[in-house]
Structure 1
Amino acid sequence: AICTKAVWDHMRERGYGRIVMTTSSTGLYGNFGQVNYGAAKLALVGMMNSLHQEGAGKGIHTNCISPVAATRMTEDLMPEEALKMLVPEAVTPAVVYLCSDGAPSKTILTAGAGGYAAAKVLETEGIWLPVEQRSAEAIAENIDTILDETGMQEYANGGGQGGKFFRRMQEVMKG
């Protein structure tokens, strides 16, 4: 955050910038015994999403890298053969790409041992309950529908979620 703050105004004045933050699979998916680390790493995804919104019209792209690499933190967690493949240099091309002119924005790029993928935050369509039906029991009764991945979406911004609920409310009220 401190480094981003230091360069943000310069990037905005120039109409160009690339910011790459390091998140983690622990932040994205969790790991036993790493609650504080996971919370901090997922916070960077939220920061990326908001900076993407602020930089979108100013030529500033903000992304996250989620590396899998052999480090002091992982050296006791994996077999020696795996650690030899998980060299940090296998992550470097992904970071360089995210700094390039053609880089996307608001992307979580995962990288490790020569593998590259994208992680995304998606939301199910869910349900809408009228006032008289809003209860923990109604949620329990509808949990399979709430969790159904059919029609899952990635929202462009935080208003997408509210818009979905407003749309669902209108659909139900119309009949």
Structure 2
Amino acid sequence: MSLFNFGKRKQPEAPPPQPSSSSPRDHHYAFAHVVFRTIALENPLACLSTLASERSQEFLQFAYDATCETCQEHGKPDFSVNELEVHLGRAGKYPCAVIQMPPPVDVTEAYFVALVALLDTTEETPTELDNVEARYFTLEKGMSFDDSEQTVLCEWSDSTHSNYGSGPEPTVPAFIQQIMSFIDR
């Protein structure tokens, strides 16, 4: 799929079933954990450059529409694409985009998602840019054993999910700071 041709895309997989103790909103969960992740990891540099361009809102609308299509049997979403906010920056030496989601309501819903391209822009630009590796993180609403709210830092790849446990306060700087501790491992 070319991110610059939003009309053609492979269909994202349906969201996996959620544990019965949790009932995240389908559209919220699917956007952060399935649809945007699929798009972002397919071509991380194109994703980052589009988010940094004047087409950023159009690109988010494309991902939002794909989410609505994926979750069509669950009714209409309870948030709009206008509630998504893009924060561009760096996670250490790597370019990074953080998407701020509408505030999470239930466990496993994300405060933020982050795409980090493992391309050190402080060094000479590599000649091979088609297969740049990337990392995809979520900061999710969690619950502790005493039922107090907490955040949970997670990472997703094409096929795996890693839960790193308690996350930072739900702010963009704190999220990026904690991500940096996992990137160079």
TM-score, normalised relative to structure 1: 0.30
Larger gyration radius, structure 1 or structure 2:
1
More helix by share: 1
More strand by share: 2
TM-score, normalised relative to structure 2: 0.29
